[in-house]
Amino acid sequence: MATAHNEPWQVYAENGAPLEGVSASRNEFKQNPALIMGAAHVWIWRKQGTNIEVLLQRRSRSKSTWPGYLDISAAGHIDAGESPVDSVLREAQEEIDIDIEAEKLYYVFSLRTPLSGREFDVVYLYQLDRDIQFNFNDGEVDELLWKSLDEFEVMTKNPEEYNLVPQGEAYFLLLIAALRRLSL
């Protein structure tokens, strides 16, 4: 089982390009509002008969942000020198102990997160085509839940009511549209 690490994060320019050789610690990002960070998200989904299901993680209640909330299947900040794809592969292994095949990732979009103007998110989908056993013993995830796409869509319309991290209306609309398109 992989464990969480504390590597410095990649610093980005206003145009979204990584600043070569420039990184900062979590504390440096907190202290310097001019620094821009990136995060990579992977939403895992599957077909169950004719139904589409999305995997949500319940964030650990010990997390400093959004404790106990439902969130992205696996996600995290992009480490210094790391690509968004490499970050997704690492985070999926660290958080829920699965090996994702990079060539099966589906890029959905990138955007500045409405949660912070100082971060942009690179968002992927990954379809599971077999049953898999998830493990999450590193303290970041309390629980994993499969939700039907219809139920997930309802949740995204009022995230606070469902204790879902509010990624923003545009984020969820693009994500759901991509899931519906891929599931045809």
- pTM exceeds 0.95 for this model: no
Query: What's the structural domain count of the chain?
Result: 1
Domain that holds residue 175: 9-182
Give the CATH number, domain containing residue 160. 3.90.79.10
Which residue has 């992009």 as its token pair? 78
DSSP output for 38-57: EEEEEEEEEEETTEEEEEEE
96 in a structural domain: yes
In angstroms, the Cα distances linking 153 to 4, 149, 179 are 30, 6, 11
**Residue 63 within any structural domain of the chain:** yes
Distance CA 147, CA 50 (A): 14
Is residue 3 one of the residues assigned to a domain?
Answer: no
Strand segments, DSSP code E, in 9-133 are: 9-12, 18-24, 37-48, 51-59, 70-71, 74-77, 106-112, 119-127
Walk along the chain (184 residues) and give the pLDDT tens digit of each residue.
444 457 899 999 999 999 999 999 989 998 999 999 999 999 999 998 889 999 999 999 999 889 999 999 999 999 999 999 999 999 999 999 999 999 999 999 999 987 777 899 999 999 998 888 888 877 889 999 999 999 999 999 999 999 999 999 999 999 999 999 998 8
